[in-house]
A and B are shown apart, each in its own frame.
Chain A
């Protein structure tokens, strides 16, 4: 191929996409020829992980700016894809449609929150931080406010938020690897971790960037193909996004007909942990305005404070490109997020509508227990039925399912070939791996660049800095995997907490660093540490039986944390001296795209 790698990107990824589709077709043919389901699952996961590892190896580098910011030459659209993969985690891929399936409108606040946050990223932060020329988010805080304490506080907030998040992602890679490869979860977690490290260790941000683009392509094909296929197969419409109104209305009708019968507590005891029944209306408004808005708001402000997302915009060639790239990121995210409610609708209708051949509500227990897919997913502990009222037929309130089953099991329920289930497993793996990579890199880079190089040993040579960065990457990865193997919390809960931690400590120090010249070091330190402590305190208080206030729950504690952070930051800043002239000049320079970046190209 002529020209350099960057010029050839569309061609390279075009060939890659074609190759992947070819692989899917080969697997489909192999299935017809008698390849077992288990072998297909293993082939999908192993093949895609091998490709990512290959890209990671090809992207190896010994230069600081390639390792930390991919050489600042990632084109707008490709950075958009990489950000979308970075952003959409195992939770988005595996758990989101399930959440919508069970909780309806109240849960869809997450869809609005996880997209609306990008408006804040584009308008308040990304272009200015790109102009700043930093390697990491604490790099901005440390230079803008000055002093090691400010820098260190930012590293603390970043580590708390990202680490909470990353354990959930390693957990997700472990879950998928254990199902697809058929090995125990405790080992699968480490298989997942090694795959993750293969992508990031040699090439740092450069390796992560090009694997994330590859992972985006896999995950979006794996999500959209089944949605379109199922919709067509059910005769619901060839373009589900525009054509499911009747199906949504039909679900409403069935809900009315069946009613939401409340189960006795004693009956619910027999349901396996983690499974739930349908207890909320599908499309009706089932949450108060504040419950919806506070959750959306927390997720939006959290989005704008999460360092692994922000640092993706450090890799674009210019400030202008950083802004556009945020738009592309959200476009690529939109493709998946707007499909999740459609998948939830199709999945629910195919299970509960007695007029459909796949519907199980209203059938006898003996009939349901004889269905192949029911037996499989019941064995996998993701489906459960129990005849509470003893009438022999299955009622809506007697059917329980795990959240993951909506994405993982719907293709099988709808009668799609197993090759699709293998594809979905590869997609989930890609989603969880890409996010875990971004997060581990964010933590390791912050500690190696901001703590080791900037605070402990400013004279360290590049080779030594990058060695430290790589050692930290492995250490943090193993720490995350060890905690993930203990299975303390669910995937989704800990993801939401990560957003709350990030917004508690970082949102206002970042935003005011650009938009309020008067903000100074003392204010920023008070805002970061005060916000983080206040948020954490609120979480512990509510978790240990506290009543909370203003309807702020354990999922939205960041609203309290960030409010404390804002007040502290403004009050302390105003009580102490204003920043010196050099700092004010720096803020002025950050506000215009032209001119040299604040920090040198290699620093």
Chain B
């Protein structure tokens, strides 16, 4: 397998992990919205309510930065990161 194929395989792996986490916070938890809202969550808000106001939104912000760092590492590992002069 060429260097580029390996790079793409890892990139795709990272995409699947990222999308899986994204799925949990954007869709997964809202399948159980009614049940989860019965329980008190962070700062005393009901759990589901908190996720729609802050939790999911914050998780997406963190997820994107995490993804960007991981992808940079993958690019470096296979020597595909950009040079400054490009």
Contact = CB atoms under 8 A, between A and B. Distances in A.
Given A245-B44, A300-B26, A318-B82, A591 B8 contact: yes
Contacts of B31: 289, 293
With most chain A CB atoms within 10 A of its CB, the pick from B14, B18, B32, B68 is: B68
Contacts, number: 144
A246 B44 contact: yes
Q: Lowest 3 CB-CB distances: which A-B pairs, in order?
A: A245-B44, A108-B52, A116-B26
Contacts of B81: 320, 593-594
Contacts of B71: 127, 323
Interface string B52-86: 11101110110111011001100100011111001
Contacts of B68: 122, 320, 323-324, 326-327
29 contacts: A108-B52, A108-B53, A112-B51, A112-B57, A115-B60, A116-B25, A116-B56, A116-B60, A118-B60, A119-B67, A123-B67, A244-B45, A248-B45, A248-B49, A289-B30, A320-B68, A323-B68, A326-B68, A327-B64, A327-B68, A338-B53, A338-B58, A341-B52, A592-B75, A593-B80, A593-B81, A594-B79, A594-B81, A594-B82
With most chain B CB atoms within 10 A of its CB, the pick from A105, A109, A246 is: A105
Given A292-B33, A296-B30, A588-B4, A119 B64 contact: yes
Interface stretch (A31-39, A329-337, A378-386): A329-337
Contact of A326 (B54, B58, B64, B83): B64
Nearest to A337: B57
B22 A119 contact: yes
Contact of A592 (B7, B51, B83): B7
B27 A242 contact: no
B67 A592 contact: no
Interface residues of B, number: 47
B72 A320 contact: yes
Contacts of A113: 26
B60 to A, nearest CB: 5
A8 to B, nearest CB: 21
B39 interface: no
A467 to B, nearest CB: 32
A58 interface: no
Interface of A is mostly: helix
Contacts of B83: 594
Contacts of A241: 54
B33 A289 contact: yes
Nearest to A589: B4
A596 interface: yes
A284 B52 CA distance: 12
Contacts of B49: 105, 248, 283
A311 interface: no
Given A116-B22, A296-B26, 16 more contacts: A105-B48, A111-B57, A115-B56, A116-B60, A119-B18, A119-B63, A120-B22, A127-B71, A283-B46, A285-B33, A289-B32, A320-B68, A320-B82, A591-B7, A592-B75, A594-B86
Contacts of A596: 86
A30 interface: no
A330 B65 CA distance: 10
A593 B75 contact: yes
Interface of A: 105, 108-109, 111-113, 115-116, 118-120, 122-124, 127, 241-246, 248-249, 283-285, 289, 292-293, 296-297, 300, 318-320, 323-324, 326-327, 330-331, 334, 337-338, 341-342, 588, 591-596
Contacts of A592: 4, 7, 75, 80
Contacts of A283: 37, 45-46, 49
Nearest to B35: A285
Interface string B1-18: 000100110010011001
A334 B64 contact: no
Contacts of B7: 591-592
Interface of B is mostly: helix
B45 to A, nearest CB: 5
B27 A293 contact: yes
Nearest to B22: A119
A183 B44 CA distance: 46
B26 to A, nearest CB: 4
Contacts of A326: 64, 68
Contact of B61 (A243, A285, A334): A334
A421 B34 CA distance: 37
With most chain A CB atoms within 10 A of its CB, the pick from B15, B44, B60 is: B60
B34 to A, nearest CB: 4
Contacts of A341: 52-53
Given A111-B53, A119-B18, A588-B4, A296 B37 contact: no
B25 A293 contact: no
B85 to A, nearest CB: 11
Nearest to B68: A323
A350 B37 CA distance: 24
Contacts of B37: 283-285
A123 B82 contact: no
Contacts of A124: 15
A302 to B, nearest CB: 13
B82 A285 contact: no
Contacts of A319: 82
Given A111-B52, A320-B81, A594-B82, A330 B64 contact: yes
Given A284-B37, A293-B31, A296-B27, A112 B52 contact: yes
A245 B45 CA distance: 5
B78 to A, nearest CB: 8
Contact of B34 (A116, A285, A297, A327): A285
Nearest to A116: B26
